[in-house]
């Protein structure tokens, strides 16, 4: 599966940022620090709302 860019929206503060669809490490919100994505062996868990997917 290809690693894509995702535009995600933080459920906590509504701030938007770009992350990978398969992050190598935990992704936290740049504004409030909430955990937005967590890498998992099987499937990464994206906890934020994905607003856009980019190739």
Q: Residue 13 interacts with Zn ion (CB under 5 A)?
A: yes
How far apart are CB 29 and Zn ion at their closest, in Å?
Answer: 3
Q: Residue 31 interacts with Zn ion (CB under 5 A)?
A: yes
CA pair distance 53, 39, nearest whole angstrom: 18
Q: Which of 11, 23, 1 is nearest to 51 (CA)?
A: 11
Among 9, 15, 16, 17, binds Zn ion (CB under 5 A): 15
22 in Cβ contact with 43 (< 8 Å): no
Could you tell me which stretch among 9-17, 19-27, 39-47 binds Zn ion (CB under 5 A)?
9-17
């Amino acid at each position: 599966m290809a690693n894509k860019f995702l535009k995600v929206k933080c459920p906590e503060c509504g701030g938007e940022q770009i992350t990978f669809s398969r992050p190598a490490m935990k992704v936290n919100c740049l504004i409030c620090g909430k955990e937005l994505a967590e890498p998992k062996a099987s499937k990464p868990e994206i906890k934020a709302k994905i607003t856009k997917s980019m190739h």
